[in-house]
């Protein structure tokens, strides 16, 4: 498995690359926060609200990573199987490859994951209705905590990476790193929506982002199996 530092850095970079997808899912939300029907906000207040919302969202990602990583730890310990751990890593890499294909608009197979998550989202989303329009940072954090559970194939893909660590702490750190990577795009979109959206909608940008994520997933896959095979060779 990749070293921890490289894994977190990779999750952060994937978060940055995910801007081509995140703006489609969350862009309308963050844009609406700046247009709440009240007096025109100053750029500083807009920034504070955008930042508060995104910190709430990232906190939910981190919690989800903690839970899923903990589940992976319990599962691998229960079965005391290194092979199971390896299969979890393989599953994570395959899902990331599918996500890369999804981002590049080559094969949108992961749409079903978002549709499945939508069943849960229908029960969660009403919690935010009394908090919008957002008037202050506290409200923005609360909305972010809820919207962090918005059905998103990319988030689900990263959660499989958290699962493969078989560690609650590492799972949380992966999702924290990923969430921080998504932060610049969404903050920028909230402040200057049109120019950012124009750039990220370009097919070449989506293609490059998808290819980079696929390349990382293949490296993760090869690294995982090569290390295990090397370990087995040394034992003989």
Domain map of the chain by residue range?
4-231
Rounded mean pLDDT, 170-185: 92
pLDDT, averaged across the chain: 79
The tens digit of pLDDT for each residue in 141-176 reads 998 898 888 878 888 889 999 998 889 999 999 999
Instruction: Measure the CA–CA gap between 165 and 172, rounded to whole angstroms.
Output: 10
| 25 pLDDT higher than 70 | no
pLDDT for res 198: 63
pLDDT band for position 2 (50/70/90)? low
pLDDT for res 39: 44
DSSP designation for 42: P
Question: Can you give the pTM of this predicted structure?
Answer: 0.81
Nearest to 90 by CA among 209, 213, 222, 214: 222
pLDDT for res 172: 97
Rounded mean pLDDT, 73-84: 76
Q: For residues 144 and 56, is the Cβ–Cβ distance under 8 A?
A: yes
DSSP designation for 128: G
Instruction: Tell me what percent of the chain is helix, strand and coil, each rounded to the nearest 5.
Output: 85, 0, 15
pLDDT band for position 61 (50/70/90)? very high
Instruction: Measure the CA–CA gap between 231 and 234, rounded to whole angstroms.
Output: 5
pLDDT for res 167: 92
Tokens standing for residue 198: 């124009």
Longest Cα–Cα distance of the chain, Å, equals 73
């Amino acid at each position: 498995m990749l070293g921890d530092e490289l894994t977190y850095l990779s999750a952060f970079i994937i978060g940055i690359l995910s801007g081509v997808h995140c703006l489609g899912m969350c862009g309308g939300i963050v844009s609406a926060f700046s247009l709440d029907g009240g007096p025109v906000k100053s750029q500083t207040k807009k920034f504070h609200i955008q930042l508060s919302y995104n910190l709430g969202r990232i906190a939910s990602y981190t919690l989800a990573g903690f839970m899923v990583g903990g589940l992976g730890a319990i599962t691998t310990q229960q079965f005391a199987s290194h092979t199971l751990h390896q299969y979890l890593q393989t599953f994570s890499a395959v899902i990331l490859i599918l996500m890369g294909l999804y981002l590049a608009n080559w094969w949108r197979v992961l749409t079903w994951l978002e549709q499945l998550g939508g069943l849960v989202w229908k029960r969660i989303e009403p919690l935010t209705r009394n908090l919008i329009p957002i008037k202050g940072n506290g409200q923005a954090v609360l909305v972010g905590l809820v919207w962090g559970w918005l059905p998103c194939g990319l988030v689900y893909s990263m959660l499989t990476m958290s699962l493969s660590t078989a560690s609650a702490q590492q799972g949380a750190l992966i999702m924290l790193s990923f969430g921080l990577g998504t932060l610049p795009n969404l903050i920028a979109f909230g402040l200057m929506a049109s120019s950012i959206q124009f750039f990220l909608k370009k097919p070449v940008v989506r293609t490059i982002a998808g290819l980079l994520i696929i390349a990382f997933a293949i490296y993760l896959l090869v690294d995982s199996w090569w290390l295990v095979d090397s370990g087995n060779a040394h034992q003989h």
